[in-house]
Amino acid sequence: MVDVSLQLSANLLIAKIVGHLLRSGAPVPDHLKSLLGQKAGEQWTPYPEALVPTPNRAPEDFWIAMDPMAPMIQKGWLGEDHPFNERDREKLLSRIFEETKEGDPGFFVSLISLLIDLDKVELANLGAIREKLDAALSHPGAKAEESFAMMADLFAQVCGRTADSEGFEKWIRETSKESVRQWPHGRVTLTDEKESGRVLTALLNAVYVFAKCGDRDLCERIRIITSCFRTVVEIWPASLVAVIGCLEGMSRELGVDVSRFDILPTLLELRGR
């Protein structure tokens, strides 16, 4: 239990406890309910942090793995027309599509990121999510949005689930080209609070996310990371120092026996530039 619970946010853990109390027929103090949501007009609505998916490690029949919203809905905490009343994953996804049909793509991305576990979405629905992500990422001001990193991570997950290496690598190249046009001078660092630094951080993190998807072995994941990092540097030279720093961190963490095949040769190549 400790291993799983440490992966949960405070709000989600409280939601799990409240859900367990409700299933057991125990009374729930008002202050716990107020920690999980608030009144919106006449309706109580939960905070998004209480709705996020549970880590996969939890056994399905264990209380901490169960959906905490189900007993809250059963007890009438949410009104009949509340959008979060739908807890079936695919139906909830359809509801999100319907609710955000005419809205900002960034809002759609935020809801998907918070409420839907992409690893469990049917492949048939990933294409529709990809279309929304393409629209969000191609928007002229996308990189300036605070949700850009979230968009990039979701895009990487969708590409990983659908084994679309070509599409992901194309996005890496295009984003790097746009970035070098927008910030042609100066060095970009991952600690930089400027937009260029945030974009580079999102770009490199998306590479990690993509490499992690699927059943690839460690060596294949590393090959994907070093290849994509090399592409970023070739197109956006200002990222060189930041990329070297990332690879050095990987090398220290993985050790020489693993790093000597792809990470160290890539480091030697980049340091020679």
pLDDT in tens, 26-62: 888 888 888 888 876 677 878 766 766 665 555 667 7
Q: What is the pLDDT, as a whole number, of residue 151?
A: 92
Tell me if 181 sits within 8 A of 128, measured CB to CB.
Answer: no
pLDDT of residue 6 exceeding 70, the answer is no
Tell me the per-residue pLDDT of 169-190, one tens digit each, with 9 for 90 and over: 999 999 999 999 999 888 898 8
Could you read off the pLDDT of 93-136 as tens digits, one per residue? 888 888 787 777 777 887 888 778 788 788 888 988 998 899 88
Phi-psi region of 185 (alpha: psi -120 to 50; beta: other; left: phi over 0): beta
Residue range 193-242, pLDDT digits in tens: 789 999 999 999 999 999 999 888 999 999 999 999 999 999 999 999 99
Cα 252 to Cα 127, 138, 165, 232, 260, distances in angstroms = 38, 36, 27, 22, 11
> Per-residue pLDDT for 1 more than 50?
no
In this structure, are residues 251 and 271 in contact, taking their beta carbons and an 8 Å threshold? no
